[in-house]
Structure 1
Amino acid sequence: MAHDKELLQKLAQCAAACDMCADACLDEDNIKMMVKCIRLDRDCAKICMLAHSYVASHSAYAGAVLQQCAEICKACGDECAKHETDHCQECARACRECEQACRSYAGVGA
């Protein structure tokens, strides 16, 4: 149960970091350079909140959703890491932490 709580926290933190990053990216001078980042931020925030719901309700499909979540977190973290802005670097960290938490949980629940 403690593992669930930690995972739920990582999912919520990642979703929030992605939402904040996407919003901050919209204020960047070269917004065209940020398009991929913004799109991945949106996708990552959505899958994190979906995974959060599946984990919280102890769905039998939580493991499958978490595997997909981990993939999207990795892609988002990799993209954000390419940008030097503080919000992108913070988002990259949140994505990497969430990716690891998802993989760990999905491995345990598989």
Structure 2
Amino acid sequence: MNAGYKTCIEAANRCMEACNICYHACLKEENKMARCLELDRECAEVCSLAVSSMQRSSSFVKQILSLCAEICDACGTECKSHDYQHCQDCAQACFYCAEECRKLIA
């Protein structure tokens, strides 16, 4: 595995965890936030794919990281629009992950 991926892998793992926590918490909110739930799932899945692609030095890693950054930005933007702490934490993790992904594809 490329040692340069370490920070991005950590960011993607934190983002995946934050998205899963946000997803579960959103399910319990009275105001069901369909778009937030959808993006939490998409983001967690693409972060998982990004981590595994970096771990195995996939020949598609740049494309996967590009997609990961795009979905993380979308999820972060959606979560930032909600006042719940779990959404704010998720937004922060998403934006950081997107930034780290973009560093590797620049």
Same fold (TM over 0.5): yes
- Unpaired segments ≥5 residues, structure 2: none
Give distance in 2, aligned partners of 1:3 and 1:77. 24
Aligned residue pairs: how many? 105
What per-residue deviation string (whole Å, max 9, x for no partner) do you get for residues 27-81 of structure 1? 11111xx110000000000000001000111111100000000000000000000
Give distance in 2, aligned partners of 1:6 and 1:81. 23
Matched, 1:76 2:75: yes
Report what 1:98 is aligned to. 97
Tell me the CA shift for residue 2 of structure 1: 4.4
Give distance in 2, aligned partners of 1:69 and 1:4. 14
Q: 3-state SS of the aligned residue for 1:29?
A: coil
Opposite residue 76 of structure 1, the aligned amino acid is C
Report what 2:49 is aligned to. 50
Opposite residue 30 of structure 1, the aligned amino acid is N
Cα-Cα RMSD: 0.8
Report what 1:13 is aligned to. 14
TM-score (norm 1): 0.93
Matched, 1:24 2:16: no
Give distance in 1, aligned partners of 2:3 and 2:14. 17
Report what 2:87 is aligned to. 88
Matched, 1:64 2:66: no
- Unpaired segments ≥5 residues, structure 1: none
TM-score (norm 2): 0.96
